[in-house]
Structure 1
Amino acid sequence: MGSKTSNTSRQARIAEMRRAEQARDRRNKIIAITVSVLVLGGLGGFGAYVLNKKADQVQAKEDLVKKPVSAEQSWDVKKLGRNHVTKAVSYPMKPPVGGDHNPVWMNCNGDVYTTAIPDVNAVHSLEHGAVWITYNTKAAKGDVEKLAKKVKKTPYTLMSPVDGQAGAIMLSAWGKQVSVDGADDARVDQFLAKYVQGPQTPEPGAACTGGMAAQ
Protein backbone atom coordinates (compact mmCIF):
# COMPACT_ATOMS: atom_id res chain seq x y z
CA MET A 1 0.00 0.00 0.00
CA GLY A 2 2.75 2.41 0.86
CA SER A 3 4.50 1.61 -2.40
CA LYS A 4 1.38 2.48 -4.39
CA THR A 5 0.98 5.77 -2.52
CA SER A 6 4.62 6.68 -3.12
CA ASN A 7 4.32 5.85 -6.83
CA THR A 8 1.15 7.92 -7.17
CA SER A 9 2.82 10.86 -5.44
CA ARG A 10 5.82 10.62 -7.72
CA GLN A 11 3.64 10.55 -10.83
CA ALA A 12 1.74 13.60 -9.55
CA ARG A 13 4.98 15.48 -9.07
CA ILE A 14 6.14 14.51 -12.56
CA ALA A 15 2.83 15.63 -14.03
CA GLU A 16 3.07 18.92 -12.15
CA MET A 17 6.63 19.45 -13.40
CA ARG A 18 5.50 18.76 -16.97
CA ARG A 19 2.64 21.24 -16.65
CA ALA A 20 5.04 23.86 -15.28
CA GLU A 21 7.49 23.19 -18.10
CA GLN A 22 4.71 23.47 -20.70
CA ALA A 23 3.51 26.72 -19.15
CA ARG A 24 7.08 28.07 -19.20
CA ASP A 25 7.44 27.08 -22.87
CA ARG A 26 4.18 28.87 -23.70
CA ARG A 27 5.35 32.01 -21.90
CA ASN A 28 8.69 31.93 -23.71
CA LYS A 29 6.94 31.53 -27.09
CA ILE A 30 4.59 34.42 -26.32
CA ILE A 31 7.54 36.61 -25.28
CA ALA A 32 9.50 35.65 -28.43
CA ILE A 33 6.54 36.39 -30.70
CA THR A 34 5.85 39.69 -28.95
CA VAL A 35 9.48 40.78 -29.26
CA SER A 36 9.57 39.78 -32.93
CA VAL A 37 6.42 41.76 -33.65
CA LEU A 38 7.80 44.79 -31.86
CA VAL A 39 11.14 44.56 -33.67
CA LEU A 40 9.53 44.10 -37.07
CA GLY A 41 7.12 46.91 -36.31
CA GLY A 42 10.01 49.15 -35.32
CA LEU A 43 11.97 48.25 -38.43
CA GLY A 44 8.93 48.81 -40.56
CA GLY A 45 8.35 52.18 -38.99
CA PHE A 46 12.00 53.12 -39.42
CA GLY A 47 11.94 51.91 -43.02
CA ALA A 48 8.87 53.99 -43.72
CA TYR A 49 10.56 57.01 -42.13
CA VAL A 50 13.66 56.54 -44.30
CA LEU A 51 11.59 56.12 -47.46
CA ASN A 52 9.50 59.19 -46.66
CA LYS A 53 12.61 61.24 -45.96
CA LYS A 54 14.19 60.09 -49.24
CA ALA A 55 11.00 60.94 -51.12
CA ASP A 56 10.97 64.41 -49.54
CA GLN A 57 14.59 64.96 -50.60
CA VAL A 58 13.83 63.89 -54.18
CA GLN A 59 10.79 66.15 -54.29
CA ALA A 60 12.79 69.07 -52.91
CA LYS A 61 15.42 68.59 -55.61
CA GLU A 62 12.76 68.38 -58.31
CA ASP A 63 11.24 71.62 -57.04
CA LEU A 64 14.64 73.32 -57.23
CA VAL A 65 15.21 72.08 -60.77
CA LYS A 66 11.83 73.30 -62.01
CA LYS A 67 12.27 76.86 -60.80
CA PRO A 68 14.31 79.34 -62.86
CA VAL A 69 17.50 80.58 -61.22
CA SER A 70 17.07 84.24 -60.34
CA ALA A 71 19.40 86.60 -62.30
CA GLU A 72 20.85 83.71 -64.30
CA GLN A 73 22.49 84.48 -67.64
CA SER A 74 22.26 82.15 -70.63
CA TRP A 75 24.20 82.01 -73.91
CA ASP A 76 23.55 80.36 -77.24
CA VAL A 77 26.44 77.93 -77.04
CA LYS A 78 25.96 76.90 -80.68
CA LYS A 79 27.52 80.24 -81.55
CA LEU A 80 30.47 79.68 -79.23
CA GLY A 81 31.80 76.49 -80.80
CA ARG A 82 32.95 73.16 -79.34
CA ASN A 83 36.16 72.46 -81.20
CA HIS A 84 39.22 70.96 -79.53
CA VAL A 85 42.15 73.34 -79.93
CA THR A 86 45.63 73.58 -78.50
CA LYS A 87 45.92 77.36 -78.76
CA ALA A 88 44.64 80.09 -76.45
CA VAL A 89 40.97 81.04 -76.80
CA SER A 90 39.45 84.47 -76.23
CA TYR A 91 36.09 84.03 -74.53
CA PRO A 92 33.35 86.70 -74.51
CA MET A 93 32.52 86.15 -70.83
CA LYS A 94 34.54 85.64 -67.64
CA PRO A 95 34.59 82.92 -66.50
CA PRO A 96 33.77 81.26 -69.84
CA VAL A 97 30.69 79.05 -70.13
CA GLY A 98 31.43 77.35 -73.43
CA GLY A 99 33.29 77.56 -76.69
CA ASP A 100 36.37 75.97 -78.22
CA HIS A 101 38.58 74.36 -75.62
CA ASN A 102 41.62 72.23 -74.92
CA PRO A 103 41.35 68.46 -75.59
CA VAL A 104 42.19 67.81 -71.91
CA TRP A 105 39.62 68.65 -69.23
CA MET A 106 40.33 69.82 -65.69
CA ASN A 107 39.59 67.12 -63.13
CA CYS A 108 36.15 67.97 -61.78
CA ASN A 109 35.26 65.20 -59.37
CA GLY A 110 34.80 67.61 -56.47
CA ASP A 111 38.21 69.17 -57.11
CA VAL A 112 39.10 72.41 -55.30
CA TYR A 113 41.95 74.40 -56.84
CA THR A 114 43.51 77.16 -54.76
CA THR A 115 45.23 78.82 -57.71
CA ALA A 116 43.95 79.87 -61.11
CA ILE A 117 43.38 77.14 -63.69
CA PRO A 118 43.41 77.43 -67.51
CA ASP A 119 40.05 78.50 -68.94
CA VAL A 120 40.47 76.21 -71.96
CA ASN A 121 40.64 73.14 -69.72
CA ALA A 122 37.85 74.23 -67.39
CA VAL A 123 35.50 74.78 -70.35
CA HIS A 124 36.09 71.16 -71.36
CA SER A 125 34.92 70.16 -67.85
CA LEU A 126 31.72 72.15 -68.39
CA GLU A 127 31.19 70.23 -71.62
CA HIS A 128 31.20 67.05 -69.51
CA GLY A 129 28.41 68.42 -67.30
CA ALA A 130 30.44 69.96 -64.48
CA VAL A 131 29.58 73.11 -62.55
CA TRP A 132 32.51 75.47 -61.99
CA ILE A 133 32.40 77.64 -58.85
CA THR A 134 34.74 80.62 -58.99
CA TYR A 135 35.59 83.52 -56.68
CA ASN A 136 37.75 86.62 -56.58
CA THR A 137 39.44 88.58 -53.78
CA LYS A 138 36.13 90.20 -52.80
CA ALA A 139 34.69 86.87 -51.64
CA ALA A 140 34.63 86.37 -47.85
CA LYS A 141 37.04 83.72 -46.57
CA GLY A 142 34.22 81.95 -44.73
CA ASP A 143 32.15 81.70 -47.91
CA VAL A 144 35.09 80.29 -49.83
CA GLU A 145 35.65 77.64 -47.15
CA LYS A 146 31.97 76.64 -47.08
CA LEU A 147 31.83 76.34 -50.84
CA ALA A 148 35.02 74.29 -50.90
CA LYS A 149 33.47 71.78 -48.48
CA LYS A 150 30.35 71.56 -50.66
CA VAL A 151 32.37 71.05 -53.83
CA LYS A 152 34.48 68.30 -52.26
CA LYS A 153 31.28 66.34 -51.56
CA THR A 154 29.78 66.90 -55.03
CA PRO A 155 30.91 64.92 -58.09
CA TYR A 156 31.08 66.85 -61.37
CA THR A 157 32.08 70.11 -59.71
CA LEU A 158 35.27 72.10 -59.48
CA MET A 159 36.29 75.34 -57.82
CA SER A 160 39.04 77.88 -58.36
CA PRO A 161 39.86 81.59 -58.01
CA VAL A 162 39.32 83.82 -61.06
CA ASP A 163 40.69 87.35 -60.88
CA GLY A 164 38.75 89.93 -62.82
CA GLN A 165 35.35 88.25 -62.78
CA ALA A 166 32.40 90.57 -62.19
CA GLY A 167 30.92 88.88 -59.13
CA ALA A 168 32.66 87.89 -55.92
CA ILE A 169 31.28 84.35 -56.27
CA MET A 170 30.01 82.92 -59.56
CA LEU A 171 28.71 79.56 -60.72
CA SER A 172 29.09 78.46 -64.33
CA ALA A 173 27.78 75.53 -66.36
CA TRP A 174 27.75 74.97 -70.12
CA GLY A 175 25.91 78.06 -71.40
CA LYS A 176 24.73 79.11 -67.92
CA GLN A 177 26.08 81.45 -65.26
CA VAL A 178 24.97 83.26 -62.12
CA SER A 179 26.56 85.51 -59.49
CA VAL A 180 25.53 84.76 -55.90
CA ASP A 181 25.72 86.76 -52.69
CA GLY A 182 27.52 84.12 -50.64
CA ALA A 183 27.84 80.43 -49.78
CA ASP A 184 24.41 80.39 -48.10
CA ASP A 185 22.62 81.89 -51.12
CA ALA A 186 19.81 79.45 -52.05
CA ARG A 187 20.82 79.72 -55.70
CA VAL A 188 24.01 77.76 -55.01
CA ASP A 189 22.12 74.52 -54.28
CA GLN A 190 19.59 75.32 -56.99
CA PHE A 191 22.26 75.85 -59.66
CA LEU A 192 24.00 72.62 -58.65
CA ALA A 193 20.73 70.69 -58.69
CA LYS A 194 19.82 72.00 -62.15
CA TYR A 195 23.15 71.84 -63.94
CA VAL A 196 25.40 69.12 -62.48
CA GLN A 197 25.02 66.66 -65.36
CA GLY A 198 21.96 68.70 -66.30
CA PRO A 199 20.10 68.88 -69.63
CA GLN A 200 22.48 71.55 -70.92
CA THR A 201 25.37 69.05 -70.87
CA PRO A 202 26.77 68.37 -74.37
CA GLU A 203 28.52 65.15 -73.27
CA PRO A 204 26.60 63.68 -70.29
CA GLY A 205 28.45 60.93 -68.46
CA ALA A 206 31.87 61.89 -69.83
CA ALA A 207 34.72 61.58 -67.34
CA CYS A 208 35.58 64.14 -64.70
CA THR A 209 38.72 62.27 -63.67
CA GLY A 210 41.84 61.36 -65.63
CA GLY A 211 42.27 64.90 -66.94
CA MET A 212 44.47 67.78 -65.80
CA ALA A 213 45.13 68.14 -62.08
CA ALA A 214 46.51 71.06 -60.11
CA GLN A 215 49.87 72.26 -61.34
Structure 2
Amino acid sequence: MAKKKTAEERRQRAAELKAQRLKEERRRKILTISGVVTAVVLVVGLIAFLVFMEVRSRSVSNVAEYEVPSYEHVETGQPVDYEQSPPVGGDHWSAWQNCGVYPEPVTPEFAVHSLEHGAVWINYEPGLPEDQVEQLVGMYSAGDYLVISPYEGEMEAPIVASSWGRQITAETADDEMLQRFVRLYERGTDVPEPGASCSGQVAETAAEVESLLTGGGAEGGEGSGEEDPDAPAEGSEEQPMEEEE
Protein backbone atom coordinates (compact mmCIF):
# COMPACT_ATOMS: atom_id res chain seq x y z
CA MET A 1 0.00 0.00 0.00
CA ALA A 2 2.90 2.33 0.82
CA LYS A 3 4.51 1.70 -2.58
CA LYS A 4 1.28 2.54 -4.41
CA LYS A 5 0.98 5.77 -2.46
CA THR A 6 4.58 6.66 -3.27
CA ALA A 7 3.98 6.08 -7.00
CA GLU A 8 0.86 8.24 -6.81
CA GLU A 9 2.80 10.95 -5.11
CA ARG A 10 5.48 10.79 -7.81
CA ARG A 11 2.88 11.13 -10.54
CA GLN A 12 1.28 14.03 -8.72
CA ARG A 13 4.66 15.70 -8.20
CA ALA A 14 5.53 15.20 -11.86
CA ALA A 15 2.20 16.76 -12.84
CA GLU A 16 2.87 19.70 -10.57
CA LEU A 17 6.33 20.21 -12.02
CA LYS A 18 4.98 20.03 -15.56
CA ALA A 19 2.24 22.52 -14.75
CA GLN A 20 4.80 24.83 -13.15
CA ARG A 21 7.07 24.55 -16.19
CA LEU A 22 4.22 25.34 -18.56
CA LYS A 23 3.26 28.28 -16.37
CA GLU A 24 6.81 29.60 -16.41
CA GLU A 25 7.02 29.18 -20.20
CA ARG A 26 3.76 31.11 -20.63
CA ARG A 27 5.07 33.77 -18.28
CA ARG A 28 8.31 34.06 -20.27
CA LYS A 29 6.35 34.32 -23.51
CA ILE A 30 4.14 37.00 -22.05
CA LEU A 31 7.19 38.92 -20.79
CA THR A 32 8.91 38.56 -24.15
CA ILE A 33 5.85 39.74 -26.05
CA SER A 34 5.36 42.59 -23.59
CA GLY A 35 9.01 43.58 -23.98
CA VAL A 36 8.75 43.57 -27.75
CA VAL A 37 5.53 45.56 -27.68
CA THR A 38 7.04 48.04 -25.23
CA ALA A 39 10.14 48.42 -27.38
CA VAL A 40 8.02 48.93 -30.49
CA VAL A 41 5.89 51.51 -28.71
CA LEU A 42 9.00 53.32 -27.49
CA VAL A 43 10.58 53.29 -30.96
CA VAL A 44 7.37 54.45 -32.63
CA GLY A 45 6.95 57.09 -29.96
CA LEU A 46 10.52 58.27 -30.40
CA ILE A 47 10.13 58.42 -34.17
CA ALA A 48 6.86 60.30 -33.81
CA PHE A 49 8.51 62.72 -31.38
CA LEU A 50 11.46 63.30 -33.71
CA VAL A 51 9.13 63.83 -36.66
CA PHE A 52 7.07 66.24 -34.58
CA MET A 53 10.18 68.17 -33.54
CA GLU A 54 11.45 68.26 -37.12
CA VAL A 55 8.11 69.49 -38.42
CA ARG A 56 7.92 71.98 -35.57
CA SER A 57 11.43 73.25 -36.25
CA ARG A 58 10.53 73.77 -39.89
CA SER A 59 7.12 75.28 -39.30
CA VAL A 60 7.38 79.00 -39.90
CA SER A 61 4.59 81.45 -39.28
CA ASN A 62 4.17 84.99 -40.59
CA VAL A 63 5.89 84.25 -43.89
CA ALA A 64 4.78 86.51 -46.73
CA GLU A 65 4.72 84.77 -50.11
CA TYR A 66 4.91 86.48 -53.49
CA GLU A 67 4.65 85.46 -57.11
CA VAL A 68 7.75 86.19 -59.17
CA PRO A 69 6.44 86.50 -62.74
CA SER A 70 9.74 87.40 -64.40
CA TYR A 71 13.36 86.55 -63.67
CA GLU A 72 15.27 87.46 -66.79
CA HIS A 73 18.86 88.62 -67.02
CA VAL A 74 19.04 92.32 -67.78
CA GLU A 75 22.07 94.36 -68.77
CA THR A 76 24.50 94.85 -65.91
CA GLY A 77 24.15 98.42 -64.69
CA GLN A 78 20.47 98.67 -65.63
CA PRO A 79 18.51 99.23 -62.40
CA VAL A 80 15.56 96.93 -61.71
CA ASP A 81 12.46 98.31 -60.01
CA TYR A 82 11.49 95.62 -57.49
CA GLU A 83 8.02 95.44 -55.96
CA GLN A 84 9.28 94.36 -52.54
CA SER A 85 11.87 96.05 -50.37
CA PRO A 86 14.15 94.19 -49.95
CA PRO A 87 13.33 92.21 -53.11
CA VAL A 88 12.37 88.54 -53.07
CA GLY A 89 13.01 87.82 -56.73
CA GLY A 90 12.63 89.22 -60.21
CA ASP A 91 14.84 90.29 -63.08
CA HIS A 92 18.50 90.58 -62.17
CA TRP A 93 22.01 91.02 -63.48
CA SER A 94 23.98 88.14 -64.97
CA ALA A 95 26.43 87.73 -62.09
CA TRP A 96 25.45 86.84 -58.55
CA GLN A 97 26.52 88.11 -55.15
CA ASN A 98 28.85 85.74 -53.39
CA CYS A 99 27.25 84.32 -50.28
CA GLY A 100 28.85 85.66 -47.12
CA VAL A 101 28.75 88.53 -44.63
CA TYR A 102 29.06 92.12 -45.81
CA PRO A 103 29.65 95.21 -43.65
CA GLU A 104 27.97 97.47 -46.23
CA PRO A 105 24.87 97.11 -48.44
CA VAL A 106 25.15 94.92 -51.52
CA THR A 107 23.68 95.41 -54.98
CA PRO A 108 20.09 94.09 -55.07
CA GLU A 109 20.35 92.98 -58.70
CA PHE A 110 23.24 90.69 -57.76
CA ALA A 111 21.66 89.49 -54.49
CA VAL A 112 18.43 88.56 -56.28
CA HIS A 113 20.49 86.31 -58.53
CA SER A 114 21.80 84.61 -55.38
CA LEU A 115 18.20 84.07 -54.26
CA GLU A 116 17.58 82.39 -57.60
CA HIS A 117 20.28 79.88 -56.65
CA GLY A 118 18.65 79.04 -53.31
CA ALA A 119 20.25 81.59 -51.00
CA VAL A 120 18.60 83.42 -48.12
CA TRP A 121 19.34 87.14 -47.98
CA ILE A 122 19.25 88.59 -44.47
CA ASN A 123 19.03 92.38 -44.39
CA TYR A 124 19.17 94.56 -41.32
CA GLU A 125 18.83 98.27 -40.62
CA PRO A 126 22.19 100.09 -40.52
CA GLY A 127 21.37 101.29 -37.00
CA LEU A 128 20.79 97.79 -35.61
CA PRO A 129 22.63 97.37 -32.26
CA GLU A 130 26.04 95.79 -32.59
CA ASP A 131 25.15 92.77 -30.45
CA GLN A 132 22.23 92.05 -32.80
CA VAL A 133 24.48 92.35 -35.84
CA GLU A 134 26.94 89.95 -34.24
CA GLN A 135 24.17 87.40 -33.73
CA LEU A 136 23.21 87.66 -37.39
CA VAL A 137 26.83 87.32 -38.47
CA GLY A 138 27.10 84.25 -36.26
CA MET A 139 24.39 82.56 -38.31
CA TYR A 140 26.79 82.25 -41.22
CA SER A 141 29.30 79.43 -41.66
CA ALA A 142 31.60 78.99 -44.63
CA GLY A 143 29.72 77.35 -47.47
CA ASP A 144 26.26 78.44 -46.31
CA TYR A 145 23.89 79.91 -48.85
CA LEU A 146 23.41 83.11 -46.86
CA VAL A 147 23.98 86.73 -47.78
CA ILE A 148 23.99 88.94 -44.69
CA SER A 149 24.19 92.71 -45.14
CA PRO A 150 22.77 96.05 -43.97
CA TYR A 151 20.04 97.55 -46.13
CA GLU A 152 19.48 101.24 -46.70
CA GLY A 153 16.05 100.98 -48.33
CA GLU A 154 12.67 100.77 -46.66
CA MET A 155 11.98 97.71 -44.51
CA GLU A 156 8.99 96.73 -42.40
CA ALA A 157 11.17 95.64 -39.47
CA PRO A 158 14.75 95.96 -38.23
CA ILE A 159 15.55 92.57 -39.78
CA VAL A 160 14.10 91.11 -42.97
CA ALA A 161 15.06 87.72 -44.41
CA SER A 162 14.19 86.87 -48.00
CA SER A 163 14.28 83.72 -50.05
CA TRP A 164 12.96 83.33 -53.58
CA GLY A 165 9.32 84.43 -53.42
CA ARG A 166 9.20 84.55 -49.60
CA GLN A 167 10.00 86.98 -46.85
CA ILE A 168 9.84 87.20 -43.06
CA THR A 169 10.40 90.09 -40.67
CA ALA A 170 11.96 90.04 -37.22
CA GLU A 171 12.56 92.52 -34.45
CA THR A 172 15.61 90.71 -33.06
CA ALA A 173 18.26 88.33 -34.35
CA ASP A 174 17.23 85.55 -31.97
CA ASP A 175 13.65 85.47 -33.24
CA GLU A 176 12.73 81.79 -33.46
CA MET A 177 10.76 82.23 -36.68
CA LEU A 178 13.76 83.90 -38.31
CA GLN A 179 15.94 80.95 -37.32
CA ARG A 180 13.40 78.47 -38.68
CA PHE A 181 13.04 80.45 -41.91
CA VAL A 182 16.78 80.22 -42.53
CA ARG A 183 16.87 76.48 -41.74
CA LEU A 184 13.94 75.79 -44.03
CA TYR A 185 14.78 77.90 -47.08
CA GLU A 186 18.59 78.11 -47.14
CA ARG A 187 19.69 76.07 -50.18
CA GLY A 188 16.06 76.09 -51.29
CA THR A 189 15.06 73.67 -54.02
CA ASP A 190 11.88 75.42 -55.18
CA VAL A 191 13.87 78.13 -56.93
CA PRO A 192 14.60 78.67 -60.64
CA GLU A 193 18.20 77.39 -60.37
CA PRO A 194 18.48 75.04 -57.36
CA GLY A 195 21.99 73.94 -56.50
CA ALA A 196 23.70 76.60 -58.61
CA SER A 197 26.80 78.21 -57.15
CA CYS A 198 26.79 80.98 -54.57
CA SER A 199 30.46 81.87 -54.84
CA GLY A 200 33.07 82.83 -57.39
CA GLN A 201 31.39 85.98 -58.69
CA VAL A 202 30.71 89.34 -57.03
CA ALA A 203 32.46 90.09 -53.74
CA GLU A 204 32.06 93.86 -53.91
CA THR A 205 29.58 95.93 -51.93
CA ALA A 206 27.05 98.16 -53.70
CA ALA A 207 29.27 101.23 -53.32
CA GLU A 208 32.23 99.40 -54.82
CA VAL A 209 30.11 98.10 -57.71
CA GLU A 210 28.80 101.59 -58.38
CA SER A 211 32.34 102.90 -58.44
CA LEU A 212 33.41 100.21 -60.88
CA LEU A 213 30.46 100.82 -63.18
CA THR A 214 30.64 104.61 -63.20
CA GLY A 215 34.40 104.97 -62.96
CA GLY A 216 35.21 102.85 -65.99
CA GLY A 217 36.58 99.96 -63.93
CA ALA A 218 33.90 97.64 -65.22
CA GLU A 219 31.69 97.76 -68.27
CA GLY A 220 28.71 95.53 -68.86
CA GLY A 221 29.46 93.59 -65.67
CA GLU A 222 33.01 92.59 -66.60
CA GLY A 223 35.45 92.87 -63.69
CA SER A 224 38.30 95.30 -63.51
CA GLY A 225 40.56 92.55 -62.29
CA GLU A 226 41.28 94.47 -59.07
CA GLU A 227 39.59 94.49 -55.69
CA ASP A 228 40.03 96.37 -52.45
CA PRO A 229 41.77 93.82 -50.20
CA ASP A 230 40.68 95.75 -47.12
CA ALA A 231 36.97 95.22 -47.62
CA PRO A 232 36.25 91.64 -48.73
CA ALA A 233 33.05 89.90 -47.75
CA GLU A 234 33.49 87.36 -45.02
CA GLY A 235 32.95 83.86 -46.38
CA SER A 236 33.00 84.97 -50.00
CA GLU A 237 35.60 84.47 -52.67
CA GLU A 238 37.53 87.56 -53.65
CA GLN A 239 36.97 87.61 -57.37
CA PRO A 240 35.89 90.38 -59.72
CA MET A 241 32.48 90.63 -61.29
CA GLU A 242 31.97 88.26 -64.17
CA GLU A 243 29.08 87.71 -66.52
CA GLU A 244 27.31 84.37 -66.18
CA GLU A 245 27.58 82.32 -69.31
Structure 2 unmatched ranges of 5 or more: 1-45, 209-245
Change (3 A) 1:202 1:60: farther
Q: Which has the higher helix share?
A: 1
Report if aligned partners of 1:175, 1:200 keep a CA contact under 8 Å in 2: no
Matched residue of 1:152: which SS? coil
CA RMSD of aligned residues (A): 2.0
Report if aligned partners of 1:131, 1:158 keep a CA contact under 8 Å in 2: yes
Matched, 1:64 2:61: no
Mapped to 1, the partners of 2:126 and 2:112 lie a distance apart of 22
Mapped to 1, the partners of 2:102 and 2:62 lie a distance apart of 26
TM-score if structure 2 supplies the norm length? Answer: 0.59
Change (3 A) 1:101 1:199: same
Report if aligned partners of 2:169, 2:178 keep a CA contact under 8 Å in 1: no
Give how far 1:183 is off: 1.1
Matched, 1:158 2:147: yes
Task: Report what 1:195 is aligned to.
Answer: 185
Give, as a single letter, the amino acid of the residue that structure 2 aligns with 1:97: V
Give how far 1:208 is off: 0.6
Matched residue of 1:177: which SS? strand
Change (3 A) 1:154 1:182: farther
Give, as a single letter, the amino acid of the residue that structure 1 aligns with 2:84: M
Structure 1 unmatched ranges of 5 or more: 1-51
Change (3 A) 1:191 1:123: same
Mapped to 1, the partners of 2:52 and 2:131 lie a distance apart of 30
TM-score if structure 1 supplies the norm length? Answer: 0.66
Task: Report what 1:125 is aligned to.
Answer: 114
Report if aligned partners of 1:106, 1:212 keep a CA contact under 8 Å in 2: yes
Matched, 1:98 2:89: yes
Structure 1 runs of 4+ with >6 Å offset: none
Matched residue of 1:170: which SS? strand
Give how far 1:193 is off: 1.5
Report if aligned partners of 1:89, 1:101 keep a CA contact under 8 Å in 2: yes
Mapped to 2, the partners of 1:213 and 1:63 lie a distance apart of 36
**Identical-pair percentage:** 38
Give how far 1:61 is off: 4.2
Give how far 1:138 is off: 4.2
Matched residue of 1:160: which SS? strand
Which of the numbers 65, 79, 82 marks the counterpart of 1:88?
Answer: 79
Mapped to 2, the partners of 1:162 and 1:74 lie a distance apart of 20
Matched residue of 2:193: which SS? coil
CA deviations over 1:81-103 (Å, ceiling 9, x no partner): 11011221000111100000001
Report if aligned partners of 1:61, 1:193 keep a CA contact under 8 Å in 2: no
Task: Report what 2:64 is aligned to.
Answer: 73
Say how many residue pairs are matched.
Answer: 155
Mapped to 2, the partners of 1:139 and 1:153 lie a distance apart of 23
Mapped to 2, the partners of 1:59 and 1:165 lie a distance apart of 37
Change (3 A) 1:134 1:154: farther
Report if aligned partners of 1:102, 1:120 keep a CA contact under 8 Å in 2: yes
Give, as a single letter, the amino acid of the residue that structure 2 aligns with 1:168: P
Task: Report what 2:235 is aligned to.
Answer: none
Change (3 A) 1:60 1:157: farther
Change (3 A) 1:90 1:175: same
Mapped to 1, the partners of 2:61 and 2:200 lie a distance apart of 34
Report if aligned partners of 1:156, 1:197 keep a CA contact under 8 Å in 2: yes
Give how far 1:128 is off: 0.2
